[in-house]
Amino acid sequence: MSRSADTWILDAQCPSRLGTVDVVTRFLKEQRGYITELSSFDDRLGERFFIRAEFRPEGALDGEAFRAAFAERAAEFEMSFELTPPGARLPVVIMVSKADHCLNDLLYRYRIGQLPIDIRAVVSNHPDLEPLAAWHDLPYYHLPITPTTKAEQEAKVWQVVQETGAELVILARYMQVLSSAMCEKLSGRAINIHHSLLPGFKGAKPYHQAYEKGVKLVGATAHYINNDLDEGPIITQGVEPVSHVDYPEDLVAKGRDIECLTLARAVGYHIERRVFLHARRTVVFDR
């Protein structure tokens, strides 16, 4: 289901308490907001409540006045919340290395309006994808990295993020491990994509390793980054069946497709405020 062009999003979380659904839905009714989609979840183990509402106001809506009025109601429940207006386009920076499939896919969805993002820059440790960024009239920052220049390179990356005002960083097959300091700076606002294969294959040519083991599924995982390599809070995953008739190049091709789809879905969920970070896990309200 695609989001209507005139709907607002109210998402909130708080400790589990009686009346949490009511405080949201009653307020929206009083504000003459017609709820078009509503999702909620109460984590009985973590004693934490999560709710997301899409609503269409009757007439014009003053976002600042809405936030101020709802904050008074939310205070009783220790509820934190965000209000997202219709037409909001999230400013992002995309980081890449040499592989172009995820960047290509994101740029296409961006171009046709499927992903409401405002791409402020493309950053890479290689020059290979600069023509692709240039074709889309996007700034491209070639920032090479070596073991001895890692701190200096990451400082430049962080400068780009700050100067562009990016609220989300998308690692679209960026093949460098971010430092602990960089992970801390980007906590909760950087999404990575990587292959998910069983058994787990690390190092060079994971799909070729998978072929040698005769795997029956290839897949991908999109997650928020943290200090644990490729083990951050998972947003979404995708799988594709394979069989003995698939050669290494077939596994690579299927892997590319599922990586593109999984990353795009995760970015879309983040933009639409469907993802809540919850300790080392996520709560994700699917479409």
Instruction: Look at 38-42, 56-60, 166-170, 228-232 and tell me which has the smallest mean pLDDT.
Output: 228-232
User: Which whole number is the average pLDDT over 43-58?
Assistant: 96
Is residue 119 within 8 Å of residue 94, measured between CB atoms?
A: yes
The pLDDT of residue 155 is 97
Which residues make Cβ contacts (< 8 Å) with residue 197, sequence separation at least 6?
206, 207, 209, 210, 215, 217, 218, 219
Kindly tell me if the per-residue pLDDT of 63 is higher than 50: yes
The length of the chain, given as a count of residues: 287
pLDDT band at 75; cut points 50, 70, 90: very high
Q: What is the pLDDT of residues 129-174, one digit of tens each?
A: 999 999 999 999 999 999 899 999 999 999 999 999 999 999 999 9
In the chain the domains, ranked by start, together with CATH numbers, are 8-84 (3.30.70.260), 90-284 (3.40.50.170)
Q: In this structure, what token pair is assigned to residue 200?
A: 């787990």
Q: What is the pLDDT of residues 95-117, one digit of tens each?
A: 999 999 999 999 999 999 999 99
Q: How far apart are CA 77 and CA 24, in angstroms?
A: 11
Kindly tell me if the per-residue pLDDT of 1 is higher than 60: no
**Active-site hit among 43, 100, 128, 230:** 230
Whether 230 is catalytic: yes
Instruction: Look at 32-36, 37-41, 215-219 and tell me which has the smallest mean pLDDT.
Output: 215-219
Kindly tell me if the per-residue pLDDT of 199 is higher than 60: no
Q: Which residues pair with 142 in a beta bridge?
A: 124
Q: How far apart are CA 21 and CA 35, in angstroms?
A: 13
Q: In this structure, what token pair is assigned to residue 273?
A: 């405020």
pTM exceeds cut of 0.85: yes
Which residues make Cβ contacts (< 8 Å) with residue 112, sequence separation at least 6?
none
Query: Phi, psi at residue 110, to the nearest 5°?
Result: -65, -45
The pLDDT of residue 44 is 94
User: Which whole number is the average pLDDT over 69-91?
Assistant: 96
Mean pLDDT of the chain: 93
Q: What is the pLDDT of residues 262-275, one digit of tens each?
A: 999 999 999 999 99
The pLDDT of residue 117 is 96
Kindly tell me if the per-residue pLDDT of 202 is higher than 80: no
User: Which whole number is the average pLDDT over 237-254?
Assistant: 91
Percent of the chain with pLDDT over 70: 96
CA angle centred on 207, ends 205 and 213, rounded to 5°: 110
Report DSSP letters for 222-266, one per residue: EEE--SSTT-SPEEEEEEEE--TT--HHHHHHHHHHHHHHHHHHH
